[in-house]
Amino acid sequence: MSYMTLQRKALIDVLEQHRDEPLSADRIITLIGENASRSAVYRNLSALEKQGLIKKTAASGSNKTLYRYVGSDECRDHLHLECSACGKTYHLKVPATNALINDVMQDANFQIDSSSTVLYGICEKCRKS
């Protein structure tokens, strides 16, 4: 495997392991470990974003860019919830939402991109604390 391919694979592995949590570029570099090349991480992040495999999001209360991986096949079929307090992502697996998406698509003749559709709110853990 070429160096760039290895760098990209390491990046995707990290993103897949942290699908519930948007990550900053710095955090990604730390998670990849000593083999991470900062410039390769940034280059790959922008390539993956162009391919629609990751979405950028802003950390609440700061202007730091975070990256959320939406590239797995299953993420194309459901909506996502994001906690505005802790940033955690929830993969919504409620059958009713699929019915809602289908209804909207038929009614409005609108193609919904489920993997990038996020409903914002506060998660259970953050409401309790």
Q: Closest CB to Zn ion among 38 and 76?
A: 76
Among 4, 6, 58, 86, binds Zn ion (CB under 5 A): 86
Amino acid at 38: R
Alpha helices in 51-123 (DSSP H): 95-108
- Considering the rule CB under 5 A, would residue 75 count as an interface residue with Zn ion? yes
Residues in a beta bridge with 67: 23, 56
- Considering the rule CB under 5 A, would residue 101 count as an interface residue with Zn ion? no
Q: Which of residues 109-128 bind Zn ion (CB under 5 A)?
A: 123, 126
- Considering the rule CB under 5 A, would residue 85 count as an interface residue with Zn ion? yes
3-state secondary structure of 118: strand
- DSSP E strands in the chain: the ranges are 23-24, 54-58, 65-69, 80-83, 89-91, 118-121
Among 31, 91, 114, 117, binds Zn ion (CB under 5 A): 91
Rounded to an integer, what distance in angstroms lies between the CA atom of residue 54 and that of residue 90? 15
Asked if 89 and 79 count as a contact pair (C-beta separation under 8 A), the reply is no
Site map (CB under 5 A) of Zn ion, residues 23-62, x = contact: ----------------------------------------
Q: Closest CB to Zn ion among 6 and 13?
A: 13
Query: Which residues lie near Zn ion (CB under 5 A)?
Result: 75, 83, 85-86, 91, 123, 126
